[in-house]
Structure 1
């Protein structure tokens, strides 16, 4: 057996919402014991993280691994090989910022599925664990069509498109309920796929235990998706009381992706972002942030994602979503909860991951300072451990 003792730092117990100085004993990649003082077996490897804080490995539940955060994604025409190489680089960036689990919500040509399988087999090591969705499913000319989306119209075509993703090995289905910011000629508030179309795809996923996520920004499209049985709403820009009540009733998750409009607005046209994207982002950002905090305070289940791969929205920037969440009124511990146990629960891996507890996988992220006290410290990862193995070390 291989034993490792992580010692000298503070530990964030996210379930009980407390921080304490302690030690973590790992046995063959699994957390065996957590406490203020833990006996180390003979021959145990010791990792000293004195002066730093240990969190569960972070999650990013809305990312696009094959997309680089270029100013104008429409202007990029990568080959499959180029997208794959970029994806592997992006996955390293997640590890180097304390992210040990991601959900990819739309990649071209099933590259995400192949990479997931390579990570599972051990062929690719410096990468998070992941769940993936294959191609997003959109209406003809709808949001995402020009980013490798599977265009489909009508109930039968939606059912077939869903079956194609499932046949390829998708864990989730990604369905486009509304227009969006980054597709030319569509508007964020406009409904696209109908309730009936989405229901057909969602039913196919649920038959085999696969969940469905929807890009949903406009209010009508959001409600259509919730009524159709969607598992998670992505972005959720225009949420009214009725939509929130529907989410509470149905147990629907929200992944707000506050980073996406933030960076488009920050860098703007002067840095090469298309005018239409900047215009739409400026139009939605106030409602986007207000909808997130309103839903969170109402008790809607929220997980964390960034929409990394959109303009200037780096795959190394998961921590920025926590910072923005705190800026909207969450406490640092609440933001950490979104990025750990909440996200693990949405993805159905909370029994294995999402908190530091005996019996769970040793996916750990070490940060300088104490993010539970000062959320800015979440931007300074100094070590990442996955399955008990140190994959990144800046100490």
Structure 2
């Protein structure tokens, strides 16, 4: 009886293994972001969407597996963008937004998600989206109804009345309060709980003013230390990470002291803030490419002169701060602020990161292993390693020798399935 039972179990396991979808991926080389080196002639086995083995060509491979052969190409982990806005269009800014219906911004999220995926970003963190559109997109993608990356959604950012994340106008008859506005620690606590209930997986707070908000100073702190600490404590208790929009020095330092996980923009970093971030393990997410796009294309897209003037100041300071923070050994993740510029152009930031002090490997790690660690998802994304999702990209040539290869990704694989191929 026992022998018959064992035989039946073995038969079931064998049938299950036979049904498992297995893919074998090969290329000329692979970037091992965990070891910080290139590997020649890699072979990656993906079973049911996750990586089952990483070795070299010639190693044993499952019989009957589907093969994806990429001769002449370099394989990398799927990229992670830690700062995107999925809705709307970069062509519609300032008062032009009043010309478009409310649902336009959700509808535009569909092509934006596809463009992010085609650019090689298989995971993104949405750090601000009206009407819970990032949750809706995530649900559509997870159902298989839409093309797009894995989305970690923040939904509405939390901010102060009249601050960067509020809706600001001088007309009382048109005054509206943004969904994420919360004043005082108790309101912040309630807002964190509400956002989580409605689908948020990460919390975004607005610690300072911003470039694209009306009548706010990017350098001015807008949330108190107590409010920021409440957001961090409450989110961490609920198992979520917290990102803080923070340009100004005081707001950056308050957010670091409060226990915020990532500082977004971080434009007016000083040496003390960099030291604090290093000591506390805080990640910096600095969008140092989008200045180029905003100052060349912003005016015709409707960006107001008030905002362009702020960008001219902030962009220069941010790049100087980025260079200094790299020199001093701060921890960085890749954050583009896509939404300010087109979703398909995120890779343009890699050469700028290298120009301002990073090695190509450091820039790649910022968008892979570092980002996965900052998300708390090292078991799922960020490296070509056993157990993680089969999310990979391939480019011509060697991105360590020429980082611009990442501006035009040739092949995108998500969960072992080809999402984009130029072959």
* Deviation by residue 1:37-81 (Cα, 9 ceiling, x = unmatched): 233322121112111111100000000101321252442145453
Matched residue SS, 1:137: coil
1:234-383 aligned at under 5 Å gives the runs 234-269=264-299, 272-310=302-340, 313-383=341-411
Does the alignment pair 1:386 with 2:414? yes
Partner of 1:27: 47
Shift of 1:267: 2.8
* Equivalenced residues, count: 392
Q: 2:302 and 2:187 mapped to 1: Cα distance? A: 36
Q: 1:2 to 1:280 in 2, by over 3 A?
A: same
In the alignment, the residues of structure 2 paired with residue 155 and residue 46 of structure 1 have an alpha-carbon distance, to the nearest angstrom, of 54
Does residue 79 of structure 2 align to residue 58 of structure 1?
Answer: yes
Alignment of 1:196-207 (within 5 A): 196-207=226-237
Q: How far apart in 1 are the matches of 2:104 and 2:300?
A: 27
CA distance in 2, matches of 1:79, 1:356: 42
2:30 to 2, 6, 11: 11
Alpha-carbon distance, 1:35 to partner: 2.3
What are the ranges of 5 or more consecutive residues in structure 2 without an aligned counterpart?
A: 1-19, 169-177
RMSD over equivalenced CA pairs, Å: 1.8
TM score, norm. by length of structure 2: 0.88
Q: Which structure has the larger Rg over C-alpha atoms?
A: 2
Closer, same or farther: CA 127–268 of 1 in aligned 2, 3 Å = closer
CA contact (8 A) 2:27 2:74 kept: no
TM-score by structure 1 length? 0.94
User: CA offset at residue 201 of structure 1?
Assistant: 2.1
**Contact persistence 1:74–1:146 (CA under 8 A):** no
Spell out, residue by residue over 1:122-181, the C-alpha distance to the aligned partner (whole angstroms, 9 max, x if none).
243421112111101111111021395522222222222222212212111111111110
Mean Cα deviation higher: 111-120 or 194-203: 111-120
2:150 corresponding residue in structure 1: 129
Question: Helix, strand or coil: the match of 1:76?
Answer: helix
Structure 1 counterpart SS, 2:382: coil
Contact 1:264 1:277 in 2 (8 A): no
Please state whether the residue corresponding to 2:395 is helix, strand or coil.
Answer: strand
Q: Distance in 2 between matches of 1:64 and 1:319?
A: 16
User: CA separation in 2, counterparts of 1:73 and 1:103?
Assistant: 24
Q: Name the structure 1 match of 2:107.
A: 85
Distance 1:248 1:265 in 2: 32
Displacement of 1:270 after TM fit?
A: 5.6
2:94/2:302 contact within 8 Å kept: no
Counterpart CA distance in 1 for 2:27 and 2:249 is 49
